[in-house]
């Protein structure tokens, strides 16, 4: 079983508390809501996105304060800008959704795994901070691209599906950018 880290993000959007099941979407070993390789339900998508997005923003605020590298700080500034907009777009899509009336996204608190990662970043500094931040962003954006791509193809709510389709190119751009950062900081 491949496990998505609870980042998304995020990505957005990054920090997705979902697990990819290889064949069985009733697996109870997973940490969070289930996502099969071909389908993400609206409940999972709508509750995962805000937490992942918040992790992206909060970790990037830390990067602006603690990073020793101009390119990492620039990436972090872009994350804050893009993920703040994505959060606004998400709220609009959620309010327009046909199947989202009963869905209440998690509140402002981060999920425990995301909070642990944020705490790890808070205790790091210099090049160690940059390495951890870049690794977390790489993982978060990989997970976010997978989540958004799957929902864009399989989602059952038109407004949320459109949000996923509209946000996906930005997440892919972030994923490429952070991979370039990883190479530059090896």
As a whole number, mean pLDDT of residues 87-112 equals 79
For residue 110, what is the enclosing H or E element?
none
Most confidently modeled of 1-5, 82-86, 109-113?
Answer: 82-86
Report CA-CA distances (Å) from 77 to 18, 31, 51: 27, 31, 19
Q: Which residue has the tokens 């199947």?
A: 99
DSSP of 45-83, one letter per residue?
A: HHHHHHHHHHHHHHHHHHHHHH-S-HHHHHHHHHHHHHH
pLDDT (tens digit per residue) in 114-161 = 899 999 999 999 999 999 999 999 999 999 999 999 999 999 999 999
**Angstrom distance (rounded) from CA 50 to CA 54:** 6
Q: Which residue has the tokens 């602006």?
A: 64
Which of 39-48, 129-138, 143-152, 175-184 is predicted least confidently?
A: 39-48
Confidence of residue 99 (pLDDT cuts 50, 70, 90): confident
3-state secondary structure of 9: helix
Q: Which residue has the tokens 């979902």?
A: 18
**pLDDT of 63 strictly over 60:** yes
pLDDT score at 111 = 84
CB 52 within 8 A of CB 144: yes
User: Which has the closest alpha carbon to 34: 16, 50, 18?
Assistant: 18
CA 56 distance to own-chain centroid? 7
Range of the domain at 52: 2-184
Between 35 and 48, where is the model more confident?
A: 48
**Angstrom distance (rounded) from CA 150 to CA 131:** 29
HEC secondary structure over 120-173: HHHCCCHHHHHHHHHHHHHHHHHHHHHHHHHHHHHCCCHHHHHHHHHHHHHHHH
Structure tokens at 50: 């805000």
The tally of domains found in the chain comes to 1
pLDDT score at 98 = 79
Confidence of residue 18 (pLDDT cuts 50, 70, 90): very low
The domain that contains 8 carries what CATH number?
A: 1.20.1260.10
As a whole number, mean pLDDT of residues 85-108 equals 80
**pLDDT of 4 strictly over 50:** no
Structure tokens at 94: 């959620």
């Amino acid at each position: 079983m491949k496990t998505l880290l609870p980042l998304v993000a995020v990505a957005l959007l990054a920090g997705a508390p979902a697990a990819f099941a290889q064949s069985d979407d009733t697996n109870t070993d997973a940490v969070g809501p289930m996502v099969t390789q071909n389908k993400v339900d609206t409940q999972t998508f709508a509750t995962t996105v805000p937490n992942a997005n918040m992790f992206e923003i909060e970790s990037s605020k830390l990067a602006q304060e603690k990073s020793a590298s101009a390119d990492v700080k620039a990436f972090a500034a872009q994350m804050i800008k893009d993920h703040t907009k994505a959060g606004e777009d998400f709220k609009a899509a959620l309010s327009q959704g046909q199947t989202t009336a009963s869905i209440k996204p998690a509140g402002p608190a981060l999920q425990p795994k995301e909070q642990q990662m944020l705490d790890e970043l808070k205790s790091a500094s210099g090049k160690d901070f940059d390495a951890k931040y870049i690794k977390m962003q790489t993982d978060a954006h990989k997970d976010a691209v997978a989540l958004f791509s799957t929902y864009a193809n399989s989602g059952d709510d038109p407004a949320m599906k459109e949000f996923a389709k509209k946000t996906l190119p930005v997440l892919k751009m972030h994923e490429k950018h952070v991979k370039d950062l990883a190479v530059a900081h090896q």
